[in-house]
A and B are shown apart, each in its own frame.
Chain A
Amino acid sequence: MAEPILTVENLSKHFGGLRAVNDASFTVEAGRITALIGPNGAGKTTVFALITGFLKPSSGRIAYNGEAITGIPAHLLARRGIARTFQIVQPFAGLTVLQNIAVGSHLHIPGRAAALAAAEEVAALVGLTPMLHQPASTLTVAGRKRLELARALATAPKLLLLDEVLAGLNPSEIRDMIPIIRAIAARGVTILMIEHVMQAVMSLADQIFVLVEGHVIAQGTPQTVAADPKVIEAYLGAGAAARLAGGAHAG
């Protein structure tokens, strides 16, 4: 088993009476692609916000490379190598694609020219080279998702959290994006991704955690998770696993 780069223990977050995250625990192993899946409203995005320092947990611990990082503000975590993308893309709309990415590369590169050069390299990696000097506001949805990815990547992260980078893309755009994610992982970046596009999760993820009502209910390889009756019921409702099994027999 590889070293865990991220350990989440008994993490909870309450908003008033709502328990968005409820005693969730999981680990992310270095150098692999881990997926966090679950039905809408399961608390996945909240978990991301907690890990990346955008929210402070109500209770629980988060460790990164063995060090406690619970409650450390977002910008300091980014400096330590944790980057994220947003489910609802957050481009710097008034800036060009290149300028957007350069904000990321500036994290470790003070010089303007060097940062711009580094940004150009990252842009090439995600296929944004033709749009470098276009305002970010003119990009298509697919373009914005790539930009989101490129900016995060430009900070030279060790751990990259991707929040639904495939959502809203058409099948051919998804097919284009999957090798990009794979290439990022191949460069040694550990990836934790929230994803609803199951075909992509199945092909990309080494390890999957299933979050339901703020709690991790199942984990394992894509195959084990897909066959887990608890998971099927969480997605399709109580009794679904049995019905599916019955249906299979009947057919």
Chain B
Amino acid sequence: MTTLMNRGFLSIVIVVALLACVPFLTASNSVLNFLVTGLLLTLAGQGWNVLGGYGGQYSFGHAAFFGTGAYATAILQVRYGFNAWPAFAIGIAAGAAVGAIIGAMTFRSGLRGSYFALVTLAFAEVLRIVASVAPFTGAGTGTLIKLNVGAQAMQFQSRAAFYWMILALVAIALVVTRLIEQSRFGAWLVAVRENQDAARALGVDVTRVKLGAMTVSAALAAAAGCFYAQYFLFIDSGIAYGTWISVEALLAPIIGGIGTVFGPLLGAMMIKVLGEAAKHLIGDAPGLDLVLYGMVLILIVAFAPRGIAGIVAQVQGWLTPKKGKPHG
């Protein structure tokens, strides 16, 4: 048991420690910026992964939680004079609450599959439209957080500080995912993904398990939104509640390996690398990165349904001599 625990968490410690060293190796703002946006996407993707990867409930509207986190953080500071730190925490809670509410409504009506994807998409759209017209979100012009550099305002002079902050958030997300994986809740969640009726027969409260997963999932996506607002200091309805984040949040785990702890991290970095590569090869053209992402999504579903993690496992399988190696 202890060795199993250690093995599970050791990999997280190693990966996070290695990533934490990057600012000591380079002071390049563009490298750090690249990694910050990659980790931001990892966080949102990890959120999607908890519900979609482990729970099998594919949301097409994680923008609803990302955007709620972003707007809550921004509005609390701009309109109500909150300090950035509590605003950040409330933003996460607000996103989680939106997740819990949407989850309670949809899961209680027994919506799943296509219907669940549709409803989450519709909720995100409703929020986007509301945000684009409501005065307290700044409507069409968006919300700008006042520049106020200093740790007390969570606005850091150096990119490295932002980088370590998002890395810490990602580390928490990795640990949370690992804890879920090794818990009863996780076993039930996976059971719900594989077969709801069988899970019910074994005493699993399907609705509650899904609701729990959705709340955690939304909290992680909201944390990404909070960070986005704090990092870029500007959001509008198209950014916060836009389709781009719903798509990229699901793309990261699917590319990296759905239902695995490191899948979203792998996938998010892959997406960012692809985006950069496209920029360098073809130039910075609007929409082109998403064209590429869409194609990658189709190709992954078609040829590598378990993502990069699946490919790695397969290659490992070829390299290691055949032995009955237990895993579980």
Contacts and interface: CB of A to CB of B under 8 A. Distances in A.
| Chains A and B share a contact (CB less than 8 Å) | yes
Nearest to A111: B184
Interface in A107-139: 107, 109-113, 115-116, 132-133
A52 interface: yes
B301 to A, nearest CB: 16
Contact of B324 (A106, A133, A151): A133
Which size class do A's interface residues fall under? 35 or more
B194 A94 contact: yes
Contacts of A106: 184, 187-188
Contacts of B187: 99, 102-103, 106, 112, 115
Contacts, number: 90
Interface residues of B, number: 26
A7 B192 CA distance: 31
A103 B191 contact: yes
B200 A54 contact: yes
Nearest to B181: A112
Interface string A65-84: 00000000111101100011
A152 interface: yes
Nearest to B196: A90
Contacts of B328: 96, 98-99, 116, 133
B295 interface: no
B201 interface: yes
Given A92-B191, A106-B188, A133-B324, A155 B203 contact: yes
Given A96-B328, A133-B326, A78 B183 contact: no
Nearest to B208: A75
B195 A91 contact: yes
Contacts of A78: 200-203
Nearest to B325: A133
A95 interface: yes
A103 B326 contact: no
Contact of B201 (A84, A95, A96): A84
A110 B184 contact: yes
Interface of A: 52, 54, 73-76, 78-79, 83-84, 86, 90-96, 98-99, 102-104, 106-107, 109-113, 115-116, 132-133, 151-152, 154-155
20 contacts: A54-B200, A54-B201, A75-B205, A75-B206, A90-B195, A90-B198, A90-B201, A92-B198, A94-B190, A94-B194, A102-B187, A103-B191, A103-B204, A106-B187, A106-B188, A107-B202, A112-B184, A132-B326, A133-B327, A151-B198
